[in-house]
């Protein structure tokens, strides 16, 4: 069906609610807007849906949620009676229409005879992941758009291990969705009827208690907490779902002096106090930092709407002036990894065959830390589902022991009872690490400096190029095609300098083609890449420590092309100087391909 025919159906058929029809009638003269809303169905990726709220096939609304739920239901039905009996756990965050989308999901599942457990209030991603495993459910659904702007919402699907649904299952759900010829044929059981028949039940305090008890066992150094129990801490939930679980675990392990940013405490899908509810951006912590100055807080942190990401800042004093240093996702990940491994080694609790996991676009200093402690490092593609998969294969079903995982986009995980990034456990660990540092008379900023002195300095940055709408998606796709075209034309090391505006490119990993191209003076050597295929180009640049790099990758959850860079040196000033040169080359080159 072309986009105009789809528009006419949605704007005239009485099946669609009056609000939907009125919204569409209001844009009847805007062909470009109509096309953007109807030129495709909202894409169901490896973790589910994410899109702008509104009427249309390419928008998040009750009808696209129902369609995704029908596809999930058909997949569960195909897996047999045991899968059906185990059912689905559903949770949601603070975004607009999140409770409604969660309820619709339950109603569609009920119409297919599949029971679901629906959270009795908003609860974050890590609690949903934990709940799938706790209830031994076959699947989970989390209604969230994570850290996206307020106009977005999303629908994430989880497998029975509590991790984001694996690619093969996602493909099966997608196939079922694509087989739905008429959205009007999707059945939804009346919600009250579904509850009366036991096909929808609720869950609440039981999970909160179990989740908190599980997290208390992941404390690294309880003695440090006991000694620093009065440490002043400021936390902001950024109007999201982290408020209760984060405060619950901090109080449970013994922190007594926690200050909440009142203006950002309660759930609000409009996120009225921030331009973007993303703790990756230092501006999102501005109100928390102002409160920290008033309360003389040593530590500040904030979680995003579904509480899977966390950003933090620490008090520093420079020339007699109190300031708060914000840490990047890589910096915090490195500090937490080093802290956990060091503490366990000193306590004699670091087991043989331990491993840590990070992603191909995260800091390359991770390997130095893992090598120092004799811990195996595993690298995965971007996306925490791949980290969860490594835990399942090597810890749950293997003989290795997972210690920590992180990705540069402010996602961290410790323990094996949650299989997605977890800002709740990260909050506890960051506070525990800060307490341990204070016991030594240090701040977290001091800890980071010591880490760099020990393992080498790293300057890393991610640049996001946002291009929304159909035209933006096409530009991002064309950019990646152009980058690959120029890669294919390079025949030796000298010619490879053209790939990034003059930077020395030693090799390029094309994860879409599963090839690593190594450039020499006389030609190109080709090696196989064993990771799954992904639309990613990673450029190996060498540098003084031999691990400098840059990467171009379309985001899987946002209309963005992401440019990643990392430069490393034993000298801080040299690393910073080299980074500025490479940044100019890489950013200018990639952006030139976006038009």
Spatial strand order of the sheet with 139-143 comes to: 48-52, 152-158, 139-143, 88-92, 116-119, 200-203
Contact by Cβ (8 Å): 85, 75:
no
Q: From the CB of residue 317, how many other CB atoms can be counted at a distance below 10 Å?
A: 10
State both tokens at 300: 């500040």
CA distance 174 to 429: 37
CA distance 422 to 441: 29
Given the residues 131, 146, 354, 437, select the one marked as catalytic. 146
Q: Tell me if residue 362 is catalytic.
A: no
Question: Which residues does 46 contact at the CB level (< 8 Å), separation at least 6?
Answer: 164, 165, 166, 167, 170, 383, 385, 556
For the chain, give the number of residues: 595
Taking only Cα atoms into account, the Rg of the chain, rounded to an integer number of angstroms, comes to 24
Q: Is 467 helix (H, G, I), strand (E, B) or coil?
A: coil
State both tokens at 98: 């999140």
State both tokens at 324: 């708060």
Question: Which residues does 44 contact at the CB level (< 8 Å), separation at least 6?
Answer: 68, 71, 170, 173, 174, 177
CA distance 255 to 406: 24
CA distance 565 to 576: 12
CA distance 156 to 164: 7
Q: How far is CA 210 from CA 248, 251, 353, 555, in A?
A: 12, 15, 28, 34
Taking 3-state DSSP, the helix, strand and coil percentages for the chain, each rounded to the nearest 5, stand at 45, 20, 35
CA distance 192 to 190: 6
Contact by Cβ (8 Å): 423, 309:
yes
Sequence-ordered alpha helix ranges (H) in 142-242: 167-178, 191-196, 205-216, 222-227
CA distance 189 to 517: 55
Catalytic residues: 146
């Amino acid at each position: 069906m072309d986009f105009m025919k789809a528009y006419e159906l949605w704007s005239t058929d009485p099946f669609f609610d009056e609000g939907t029809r009125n919204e569409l009638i209001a844009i009847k003269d805007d062909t470009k807007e109509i096309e953007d809303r109807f030129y495709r169905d909202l894409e169901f990726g490896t973790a589910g849906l994410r899109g702008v709220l509104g009427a249309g096939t390419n928008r998040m609304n009750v009808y696209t949620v129902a369609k995704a739920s029908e596809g999930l239901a058909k997949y569960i039905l195909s897996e047999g009676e045991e899968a059906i009996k185990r059912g689905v756990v559903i949770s949601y965050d603070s975004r607009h229409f999140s409770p409604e989308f969660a309820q619709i999901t339950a109603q569609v599942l009920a119409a297919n005879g599949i029971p679901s457990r629906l959270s009795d209030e908003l609860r974050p991603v890590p609690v949903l992941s934990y709940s799938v495993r706790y209830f031994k459910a076959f699947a989970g659904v989390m209604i969230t758009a994570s850290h996206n702007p307020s106009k977005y919402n999303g629908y994430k699907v989880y497998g029975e291990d509590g991790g984001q649904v694996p690619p093969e299952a996602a493909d099966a759900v997608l196939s079922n969705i694509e087989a739905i010829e008429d959205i009007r044929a999707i059945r939804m059981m009346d919600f009250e009827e579904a509850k009366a028949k036991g096909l929808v039940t609720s869950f609440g305090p039981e999970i909160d208690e179990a989740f908190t008890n599980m997290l208390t066992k992941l404390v690294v150094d309880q003695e440090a907490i006991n000694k620093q129990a009065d440490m002043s801490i400021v936390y902001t939930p950024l109007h999201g779902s982290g408020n209760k679980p984060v405060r619950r675990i901090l109080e449970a392990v013994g922190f007594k002096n926690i200050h909440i940013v009142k203006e950002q405490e309660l759930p609000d899908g409009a996120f009225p106090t921030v331009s973007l509810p993303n703790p990756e951006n230092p501006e999102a912590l501005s109100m928390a930092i102002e409160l920290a100055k008033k309360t003389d807080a040593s530590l500040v942190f904030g979680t995003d709407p579904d509480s899977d990401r966390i950003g933090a800042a620490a008090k520093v004093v420079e020339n007699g002036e109190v300031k708060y240093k914000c840490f990047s996702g890589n910096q915090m990940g490195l500090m937490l990894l080093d802290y956990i491994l060091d503490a366990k080694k000193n306590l004699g609790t670091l087991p043989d065959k331990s491993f840590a996991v990070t992603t191909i676009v995260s800091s390359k200093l991770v390997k130095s830390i893992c090598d120092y402690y004799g811990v195996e490092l595993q690298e995965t593609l971007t996306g925490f589902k791949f980290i969860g998969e490594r835990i399942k294969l090597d810890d749950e079903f293997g003989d290795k022991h997972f210690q920590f995982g992180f990705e540069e986009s402010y996602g961290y995980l410790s323990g094996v009872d949650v299989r997605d990034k977890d800002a709740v456990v990260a909050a506890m660990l960051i506070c525990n690490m800060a307490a341990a540092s204070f016991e030594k008379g240090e701040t977290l900023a001091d800890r980071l400096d010591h880490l760099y002195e020990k393992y080498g300095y790293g300057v890393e940055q991610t640049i996001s190029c946002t291009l929304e709408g159909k035209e933006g998606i096409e530009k991002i796709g064309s950019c990646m095609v152009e980058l690959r075209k120029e890669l294919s034309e390079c025949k030796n090391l000298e010619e490879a300098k053209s790939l990034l505006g003059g930077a020395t490119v030693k090799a390029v990993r094309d994860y879409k083609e599963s090839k690593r191209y190594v450039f020499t003076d006389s030609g190109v050597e080709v090696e196989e890449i064993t990771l799954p295929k992904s639309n990613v180009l990673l450029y190996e640049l060498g540098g003084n420590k031999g691990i400098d790099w840059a990467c171009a990758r379309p985001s899987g959850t946002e209309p963005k092309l992401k440019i990643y860079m990392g430069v490393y040196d034993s000298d801080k000033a040299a690393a910073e100087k080299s980074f500025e040169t490479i940044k100019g080359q890489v950013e200018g080159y990639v952006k030139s391909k976006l038009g």
